[in-house]
Amino acid sequence: MLISKELSPNDVGLTGSHQAGILIPKDAHILAFFPALDPALRNPRSSMPFQDPSGQVWTFTFIYYNNRLFGRTRNEYRLTGMTRFLRESSLQPGDTVVLGKDSRLNYSVDYVRRRKAVREGHIGLQLGGTWKIISTKGGSDGK
């Protein structure tokens, strides 16, 4: 499974705001990419190792800020710990981060510069905003 996120100025730190990672939409298709989190716990999280094409492993954290369930206001999913990856990759608004997961639950991370196709032969399903599910043409082989 592949998903992608077109980066906003806020995602790459250009707005000067302090945020905890990239917002993950509450869409069942996107959330299915990530490990299940127990909403009975306060702010449950899962560390996720992502390997880039050069073989470097980056550890990001998938977290459900569910404070609303505990009398506060936040109720959102985020992928945190990405700042170093974004900066070292010199990513800018409009560039796209591509996250992959294979059948053995190995995660990968890559990116595509603005205005370039994610991968030739792939079809994107736009899910509102800047997130997409990317599926290989005609394949269900998990690649």
Buried b (16+ CB within 10 A) or exposed e, 83-107: eebbeebebeeebbbbbbbeeeeeb
Please report the pLDDT score of residue 37 as a whole number: 95
Query: How far is CA 36 from each of CA 4, 16, 46, 51, 108, rounded to the nearest angstrom?
Result: 19, 31, 9, 20, 18
What distance in Å separates the CA atoms of residue 106 and residue 57, rounded to the nearest whole number? Answer: 11
For the segment 103-114, the average pLDDT, to the nearest whole number, is 93
What pLDDT does residue 109 have?
97
d(CA 101, CA 88): 22
**Where is pLDDT greater, at 62 or 15?**
62
Average pLDDT over residues 53-59: 97
Per-residue pLDDT of 59-73, as tens digits, reads: 999 999 987 777 777
The structural domains of the chain, with segments of one domain joined by +, span 8-96+109-115
Fold of 8-96+109-115: At1g16640 B3 domain (2.40.330)
- Percentage of the chain surpassing pLDDT 90? 56
Say whether pLDDT at 125 is over 50.
Answer: no
